[in-house]
Chains A and B, each alone.
Chain A
Amino acid sequence: MSYKGEAAHPSAPTVAKVRMRFAKRGRARFSSHRDVARAMEWALRRAGVPVSLSQGFSPHPRLSWIGASPTGAASEAEFVEIGLTTDLDPVDVAREVGAVLPEGLVVLDVVRSGPGALADRIDGSAWRVELPGVDPAALAAAVDALLAAEVVEVERMTKNGPRTLDVRSALVSITVEDAVTEPSLARHPNDDRTPDDTPPTRPAGETHRRTHARSAVCGTLSAVVRHTTPAVRPDDVVSALRIVAGLEPPVPVKATRTAQGRLDDDGALLDPLEADRDPTGR
């Protein structure tokens, strides 16, 4: 006998909206969009942010999500628009929500919504993909093969069954990063030691494994992908490399979305919140 509907009382009207850019880092990358959405709703309640509610028997907070990154991918560029019943200072919202988000979710930017739809300012994503154990030279060869192809179709399971996607046509650019930097060693989020700290006694096997991990090769991709339906994800790009060049990453890749925005003529991404900061609008 539980019901949170309170239909007798009309919802306070939406008097302002803010747009938030946030990051999904560390272990939070394993959360799904649903997990993130729930965590954000609870955080907004903890922070006391008066979010406007939808009408009807089952009112829910007015949050509009745009292009959530897939489960397993980290992101520095997730976006949500929040309807407010009070016109709050975006700086306060950023600080107060940031203080109560679960570990791994980090507020990066909050602006007051200007005219126009946020979704109209986003049509592409930039991704950085680490492929541990993949030789950068082999990766570069595979990327060249991918770029040389006209169409590279991969299959992915979606909610509506298997779908075929053309990765090549969605790909705006793809490069292999110079192999001078070591990949950041995956660290436990609670582990605040620097990589050089050595615990006093560690089993020999552990030491060996860590040393081995540090010296392992790792190829790193940077790719800009145009948003299509369904969206081409980093895993699809890796599948495409498998198809064109037989590239088989020995362990799961680690992808991070570094930006989302509108693609300009040069294939660069424009910050979608920039227009909201411009007092004249655009």
Chain B
Amino acid sequence: MSVDVTTAPESVYDRLEPLLPRVRKPVQYVGGERNATVTPWEDADVHWALCYPDAYEVGLPNQGLMILYEVLNERPDALAERTYAVWPDLAALMREHGVPQFTVDGHRPVAAFDVLGVSFATELGYTNLLEILDLAGVPLHAADRTGEHPLVLAGGHAAFNPEPIADFVDLVALGDGEEVVGDITDVVKAAKAEGLSRHETLERLAGVPGVYVPALYAVDYAEDGSIAAVRPTSSAAPERIHKRTTSDLDDWPYPKKPLVPMAETVHERMSVEIFRGCTRGCRFCQAGMITRPVRERSKQGVSEMVEAGLEASGYSEVGLLSLSSADHSEIGEIAKGLADRYEGTGTGLSLPSTRVDAFNVDLAEELTRSGRRSGLTFAPEGGSERLRRVINKMVSEEELIATVATAYEHGWRQVKLYFMCGLPTETDEDVLQIAAMAHEVVRTGRKAAGRGDVRATVSIGAFVPKPHTPFQWAAQTAPEVVDDRLRKLREAINSDRSLGRNVGLRYHDGQPSLIEGLLSRGDRRVGRVIEAVWRDGGHFDGWSEYFSFERWQTAAAAELPPQGVDLFWFTTRERDQHEVLPWDHLDSGLDRGWLWDDWQDALDSREQDDCRWTPCFDCGVCPQMGTEIQIGPTAGAMAPGRMLPLTPVETRTSTPVHNPRLSEQGPA
């Protein structure tokens, strides 16, 4: 936290600019995005640097960061700027020329801000956190920071087990961020006004619901290396920290004005979160478990956000985001309403996350209406019926094949199938059934389409057990086993050359997943491994060209055994019911007893229903959080009077925006 609020830090742009002609894609470092906000430093009491610890092209479109950026900048007493991981070419030049980590908005040094909020979508961003802190000139260890340094705050899904980075962060925010950032701002503002010390500020922040201050807890270890207890060391620190839940999405129509970058990014579209949470109960899915309960945005809220967002951004694609978009109780009306409204305006609609059933083909048909049908994606996740019962992904093979047949009949030529390998109880046989399914998809597709050139692409990721899921106790499958199964799968797919040549197989090897597993279920002892890897030059671990399994293996072998544990203790070892898990003091709302029962059900191949449509099964979230699922039907039409075009669309144009200030010119 910078003590002096009156002095605006100097922009580093003058010193950065001469370095930019020497790096790849310099435009990613200059900011200037449409809808970006630069507030004079003096106008704010609390200064936030929001960080996505990956490259700009990945971080810029991140919805979470964009939402918090707007929410904070709307406060009269706060300002928020953004910072991203810089690539090694620029990082080297910045070190050589003494240019610190900067924000892209005002090009202010990150170290000058009061709070550095870092959003972790994945654990593989941890080494980038250290790189960013180092480039910023902020001590890596929270214990070494003083009142001059920013409070380093971790959020995002990976923050539900922040123990591996507990030594490097000052604060962790659990759950939805919309409201907690305001509460943190209030406390920091008061602390600055009262002149509180860093420690006093942290103790006060520990009283904010959803905020965890790792330094105020001690971890005791048992003889066998397991955790004996995690206990607060300050009376200001609660025994357990409960996640935050934003209750009504219609009250939070963010982003209102999406950032439109000059640089190319991974998602160039106007995204609207149509609901948060998921009740499908897929047992491998951390996002589905930790974001409960389901809260839908109303169809009117969706249409208003789409309209405002398209006008502010000019984007030509709308993404309706959620964990399983077709599950919105009014998705049919939403899709039809938007397709009608934007037909003929050069605006595409997409549902990035879907489940497998016939209804989805109808929906996809609506969204693509008269356009080309390129590919449909389904995610059965498990190769065999038995395995799909274990993971609670309730899709029968007949259902899948029937859906695929419908898709091919309706003009689609390519189907993508997503699976995981290394799931609990999985055998070679389960994985080999993926080949049988892919063959059947091609066979059915050829018949339905009446032609031979149909395609099925099979994409496979290695399963990583995650905290706060029923699989948090599971043994992760060793990379050699995963790799061996995938080799056998490839052989099986190619065993029938006629069918096999229409099947594409994509997968990554299992080694990065083992490290992701270490970081996902690690405890504070893993922090030393992260630091050793970073000190050895490791960063951008989510990028295969930078990830080095050998480096991680070496660091783990050096750092963990002296602490009584090793890489395999954290990954391929099954936990028993009573072991204290590193994240047990962090409450995602799920009842631990329910999670254990669901784990036992998984081992018995017993499914669990979706509570959106069937009675409550007592996962614990709703009573614990004082919330409930919020689903339609919602009152009100979709932006009445505007959703339907006044005249039928006969020709297409390039824009949905009507600008009355553009007048037609008479004949010249």
Contact with A along B558-576 (1 / 0, CB 8 A): 0000000000000000000
Which chain A residue shows the least CB distance to B363? A1
What residue in chain B is nearest A1 (Cβ atoms)?
A: B364
Which of A6, A10, A93 is within 8 Å of B371, CB to CB?
A: A6
A4 touching B371 by the CB < 8 A rule?
A: yes
Chain B CB within 10 Å — which of A6, A31, A87 has the most?
A6
In this complex, how many residues of chain B approach chain A with their Cβ under 8 Å: the count is 77
Taking residues whose C-beta sits less than 8 angstroms from the other chain, chain A's interface range is 35 or more
Residue on A nearest B351 in the bound complex, by CB: A1
Contact A185 B14 (CB under 8 A): yes
Residues from chain B with Cβ under 8 Å of A95 in the complex: 661
Contacts of B7 in A (CB 8 A): 199-201
The reply to whether the CB of A104 lies closer than 8 angstroms to some CB of chain B is yes
| A96 lies within 8 A of B662 (CB) | yes
A2 on the B face (CB < 8 A): yes
B10→A59 contact, CB < 8 A = no
Q: Which residues of B contact A96 (CB under 8 A)?
A: 659, 661-662
Cβ distance A238 to chain B, nearest Cβ, rounded Å: 11
- Report A-chain residues with C-beta under 8 Å of the C-beta of B106: 188, 190
Task: Tell me the smallest distance from the CB of B313 to a CB of chain A, in Å.
Answer: 7
Does residue A5 face the partner (Cβ distance < 8 Å to B)? yes
Query: A100–B314 contact, CB under 8 A?
Result: yes
Q: Quick one: given A10-B651, A42-B313, are A32 and B27 in contact (CB under 8 Å)? A: yes
The prevalent SS among residues of B at the interface is: loop
Question: In the assembly, what is the distance between CA of A274 and CA of B376, in Å?
Answer: 51
Q: Which residue of B lies closest to A26 (CB)?
A: B32
Given A30-B27, A35-B27, A104-B32, A48 and B652 touching (CB < 8 A)?
Answer: no
Q: Which of A49-57, A160-168, A239-247, A265-273 interfaces with chain B?
A: A49-57
Contacts A3-B372, A50-B655; A188 near B13 (Cβ below 8 A): yes
Is A72 a contact of B26 with CB atoms below 8 Å?
yes
**Bound complex: CA A61 to CA B11 (Å):** 38
- Contact A112-B668, Cβ < 8 Å, known A3-B374, A4-B348: yes
Is B313 a contact partner of A46 (Cβ separation < 8 A)? Answer: yes
B626-668 residues at the A interface, CB under 8 angstroms: 649-659, 661-665, 667-668
Asked whether, in the complex, the Cβ of A102 is within 8 Å of the Cβ of B654, the reply is no
CB of A175 closer than 8 Å to a CB of B: no
A49 to B316 CA separation, bound complex (whole angstroms): 14
Check B370–A44 contact: CB distance below 8 A.
no
Residues of A within 8 A of B344 (CB): 6, 9
**Chain A residues closer than 8 Å to B663, beta-carbon distance:** 88-89, 92
Does any Cβ of A come within 8 Å of B207's Cβ?
no
Among candidates A8, A42, A112, residue contacting B370 with C-beta atoms closer than 8 Å: A8
Contacts of A35 in B (CB 8 A): 27, 262-264
The stretch that binds A, out of B15-23, B180-188, B215-223, is: B15-23
A41 contacts partner chain B, Cβ-Cβ < 8 Å: yes
Chain A residues lying within 8 Å of B30, measured Cβ to Cβ, are 27-28, 30
Q: How near does chain B come to A187, taking the closest CB pair, in angstroms?
A: 7
Write out the residue numbers on chain A whose beta carbons fall within 8 Å of the beta carbon of B665: 16, 87-89, 112
- Chain A proximity of B41: nearest CB distance (Å): 11
| Min CB–CB distance A260 → chain B (angstroms) | 22
Contact B27 A2 (CB under 8 A): no
Q: Does A116 contact B (CB under 8 A)?
A: no
Q: Point out the residues of chain A lying under 8 angstroms from B315, CB to CB.
A: 42, 45
**Which residues of B lie under 8 Å from residue A112 when comparing CB positions?**
665, 668
A239 CA / B313 CA spacing, docked (Å): 40
Nearest residue, chain A, Cβ from B30: A27
Query: Which A residues from 45 to 97 make CB contacts under 8 A with B?
Result: 45-53, 57-59, 61, 71-72, 85-89, 92-93, 95-96
The reply on A182 being an interface residue by CB < 8 A is: no
Residues of B near A252 (CB, < 8 A) are 18, 21-22
* Cα distance A8–B374 in the bound complex, in angstroms: 16
Take A28-B262, A46-B311, A51-B654 as given contacts and tell me if A2 and B348 are in contact as well, using a CB distance cutoff of 8 Å.
yes
Give A187's nearest chain B residue, CB to CB.
Answer: B14
**Least CB distance, A138 to chain B, in whole angstroms:** 20
Q: Are A93 and B27 in contact (CB under 8 A)?
A: no
Q: Which of B516-553 contact A (CB under 8 A)?
A: none
Q: How distant is the Cα of A89 from the Cα of B107 in the complex, in angstroms?
A: 39
Residues of chain B within 8 A of A3, CB atoms compared: 348, 368, 371-374
A44 contact set on B, CB distance < 8 A: 314, 654-655
Does B317 make an interface contact (CB < 8 A)?
yes
Chain A residues, CB < 8 A from B655: 44-45, 47-51
Partner of A30, one of B14, B20, B314, B368: B20
User: In the docked arrangement, what's the CA distance between A133 and B653, Å?
Assistant: 51
B17 touches A9 (CB 8 A): no
Q: Is B31 an interface residue (CB 8 A)?
A: yes
Could you tell me if B14 and A186 are in contact, using CB atoms closer than 8 angstroms? Answer: yes
CB distance from A127 to the nearest CB of B (A): 15
Is B652 touching A102 in the complex (CB atoms < 8 A)? no
Interface bits B24-46 vs A (CB < 8 Å: 1, else 0): 00110111111000100000000
- A191-B663 Cα distance, complex, nearest whole Å: 36
Q: Which residue of chain A has the shortest Cβ distance to B22 in the bound complex?
A: A252
Do B13 and A186 touch across chains, with their CB atoms under 8 A apart?
A: yes
Question: In the complex where A2-B350, A3-B368, A188-B11 touch, is A12 in contact with B260 (Cβ < 8 A)?
Answer: no
Whole-angstrom distance between the Cβ of B227 and the nearest chain A Cβ = 45
Interface-central residue, B14, B15, B31, B106, by most chain A CB under 10 Å: B14
Cβ distance B27 to chain A, nearest Cβ, rounded Å: 4
Write out the residue numbers on chain B whose beta carbons fall within 8 Å of the beta carbon of A42: 34, 260, 313-316
Q: Is A11 in contact with chain B by the CB < 8 A criterion?
A: yes
Q: Is A4's CB under 8 angstroms from B346's CB?
A: yes
Quick check: is B349 within 8 A (CB to CB) of the other chain?
A: yes
B415 CB to nearest A CB, Å: 11
State the CA gap A72–B29 with chains docked (Å): 13
Judge whether A103 is part of the interface by a CB distance below 8 angstroms. yes
Cα(A190)–Cα(B102), bound, Å: 14
A12 to B650, CA, bound (A): 9
Contact residues in B for A39 (Cβ distance below 8 Å)? 34, 260, 262
Does B502 touch A at the CB level, under 8 Å?
no
Closest partner residue, chain A, to B350 (CB atom): A2
Question: Which residues of chain B have C-beta atoms less than 8 A from A45's C-beta?
Answer: 310, 314-316, 346, 654-657
> B365-397, CB under 8 A of A: which get 1 and which 0?
001111111111100000000000000000000
- Given A27-B32, A44-B654, A1-B377 contact (CB < 8 Å): yes
User: With A and B bound together, what is the CA distance between A96 and B33 in angstroms?
Assistant: 18
Residue A57 contacts which of B11, B348, B371 (CB distance < 8 angstroms)? B371
Cβ of B286 < 8 Å from any Cβ of A? no
Nearest-Cβ distance from residue B214 to partner chain A, whole angstroms: 33
Contact assessment for A50 and B26 in the assembled complex, using a CB-CB cutoff below 8 Å: no
A38: interface (CB < 8 Å): yes
In the bound complex, residues from chain B placing their C-beta under 8 Å from that of A251 are: 18
**Distance in angstroms between the alpha carbons of A103 and B261 in the assembled complex:** 10
Asked if A86 meets B349 with Cβ closer than 8 Å, knowing A44-B314, A50-B654, A251-B18, the reply is no
In the assembled complex, the CB of A8 is this many whole angstroms from the nearest CB of chain B, namely 3
Determine how close the nearest CB of chain A comes to the CB of B659; give it in whole angstroms: 3
Knowing A30-B20, A186-B13 are in contact, say whether A1-B350 is a contact too (CB < 8 A): yes
How far is A50 from B664 in the complex, measured between Cα atoms in Å?
Answer: 11
- CA–CA, A102 to B262, complex, Å? 8
Q: In the complex, what residues of B have CB within 8 A of residue A278's CB? A: none
- Extra inter-chain contacts (17) besides given A53-B653, A102-B32, CB under 8 Å: A2-B349, A2-B368, A6-B343, A28-B32, A35-B264, A46-B311, A71-B26, A85-B653, A96-B659, A96-B661, A102-B34, A188-B11, A188-B107, A190-B38, A203-B10, A209-B15, A251-B18
CB-defined A-B contacts under 8 Å, sample of 29:
A1-B375, A2-B319, A2-B349, A6-B343, A8-B369, A9-B651, A12-B652, A16-B665, A28-B30, A35-B263, A41-B314, A41-B316, A42-B314, A42-B316, A45-B310, A45-B315, A45-B654, A47-B657, A49-B662, A51-B654, A86-B664, A87-B664, A87-B667, A104-B262, A186-B13, A200-B7, A202-B10, A206-B10, A209-B15
5 nearest A-B residue pairs (beta carbon):
A48-B659, A4-B348, A2-B350, A8-B370, A42-B314
